[in-house]
Structure 1
Amino acid sequence: MSNKNMFKTRQLTVIGLLSAISIVLGLTGYGFIPLPIAKATIMHIPVIIGAILEGPIVGVAIGLIFGVFSIIQNIMSPNLLSFAYMNPLVSVLPRVLIGVTSYYAYTLIKAKNQSIKIGISAVVGTLTNTFGVLTMIYVLYAARYATAKHISAKAAAATIYGVAVTNGTCEAIISVLITIPVVLAVKKIIKR
């Protein structure tokens, strides 16, 4: 088997493993950490890890599977905002972009300290997810969101971006705390 084929096999393995982790987190509810103000998600972290370790294509593939799973989950177990999450522009596009932004944040940062590079990449990927999803909800469904939440249309932006800031901050901190040790451990194993 050539090195090129082994590399593709390794990438497929990483995609399958990290996608499965993301799906299990969603199915079991472990992908949501209850906080006093909201639920913080960690389902995007496998996308960030895959992008850092294997590149943007792997990150995009894991993000695509995460996004498609989000659509399926909202069809199977609808909630107040499922109308928005059934749209691929809301649930898939931002999740695909996590892999791109995480990878390029990691590669473009010139810090020598790996923990700093990984941490910044985790923050960028997390904010891509949080602000990407909520911005698409605002752009496509502001009025419908306001109706679902029983608020005025004028209050939709403040409410949506209030959630983005609150959740985004918590999710970024959690993402950094999980992503740094996982990526450093895997990189250490790969060097052997």
Structure 2
Amino acid sequence: MRQSKAFDIAILSILIATMIVIQVLSTIVYSVWPMPISPTIAGIPVIIASVVLGPKRGAIVGFAMGLILFIQATITPGVTNWLFTPFIPIPGTNHGSGWALIVTFVPRILIGVFPYYAYKLFKNRFGAGLAGFIGSITNTILVLGFIFLFFGSLLKWSFAYLITAIIATNSLVEAAAAVILTAAIVPALMKMRGK
């Protein structure tokens, strides 16, 4: 039991560290990236934590992801940062919005919860891939859905625009990466964990 708990803490720490590295590197790479696609892959460690360590620890890693994004949006310049932190004024105003905290934290925490239950349906490589897909679309649908709900009128988003944004190229690349990496990594970690 003690060995299993130590292994879980080690995996949790590695996944959080990996997520930080991915976020920092992708910020640097995407600042000079010539392609119109800039997929968010920092959620993959959250998905893996959910499946391997369970929804509570997955939610912790998801909260850490939200916190990283919150800090990044608060301290680095960006046109849309006001969507992710209340400390950046909404364009045309001198104040931010508390709804930005919902946009930033809730989807990331739920990336750490939903994949666990998707994996439980099959408990094999297919289930791991399904968990990757569920985690990825959870992030896409909730982030864009909350932006539409709280800031859609300000951004002049229509419902049709929201649907188009959800099924845009970024989300397809993100889902494919999540499926492939989760299906590849989860079985190895489960084997190491003795599950």
C-alpha contact (below 8 Å) 1:90/1:136 kept by paired residues: yes
Query: Secondary structure of 2:113's partner?
Result: helix
Q: What are the superposed Cα offsets for residues 79-130 of structure 1, whole Å, 9 maximum, x if unpaired?
A: 11111111220111100001110101111x1x36x12111111100111111
Alignment of 1:127-146 (within 5 A): 127-144=137-154, 146=155
Q: 1:43 to 1:190 in 2, by over 3 A?
A: same
1:68 and 2:67 correspond:
yes
Task: Give the percent of matched residue pairs that are identical in Structure 1 and Structure 2.
Answer: 28
Structure 2 equivalent of residue 91 of structure 1: 104
Deviation at 1:32, TM superposition (A): 7.4
Q: Where do residues 74-113 of structure 1 align in structure 2 (5 Å cutoff)?
A: 74-86=73-85, 87-107=100-120, 109=121, 111=122
On the 8 A contact 2:44/2:178 being kept in 1, the answer is: yes
**Residues 31 and 41 of structure 1 are in contact (CA less than 8 Å); yes or no, is this contact kept in structure 2?**
no
Q: CA deviation at 1:173?
A: 0.8
In structure 2, the residue corresponding to 1:39 is in which secondary structure?
coil
Code of the residue aligned with 2:110 in structure 1: it is L
Matches within 5 A, 1:170-189: 170-189=173-192
- 2:39 aligns to what SS in structure 1? strand
Contact 1:102/1:125, CA 8 A, preserved across alignment: yes
Q: Which digits, 9 at most, give the CA deviation of each residue in 1:138-161, with x for residues without a partner? A: 1111133x2xxxxxx2x4433333
Partner Cα separation in structure 2 for residue 133 and residue 162 of structure 1: 14
**Gap change, CA 1:57 and 1:125, over 3 Å in 2:** same
Question: How far is the alpha carbon of 1:6 from its aligned partner?
Answer: 4.3
TM-score in terms of structure 1 length? 0.83
Structure 1 counterpart of 2:165, from 135, 141, 163 = 163
Which blocks of at least 5 consecutive residues in structure 2 are unaligned?
A: 86-99
How many residue pairs get aligned? The number is: 178
Mean Cα displacement is larger for which, 169-178 or 181-190? 181-190
Q: RMSD of aligned C-alpha atoms?
A: 2.3
- Distance change >3 Å, CA 13–CA 88, structure 1 → 2: farther
Structure 1 CA distance for aligned equivalents of residues 28 and 4 of structure 2: 29
**Alpha-carbon distance in 2 for matches of 1:131, 1:125:** 10
Q: Is the CA contact (8 Å cut-off) linking 1:47 and 1:59 kept in structure 2?
A: yes
Task: State the distance in 2 between where 1:82 and 1:10 align.
Answer: 36
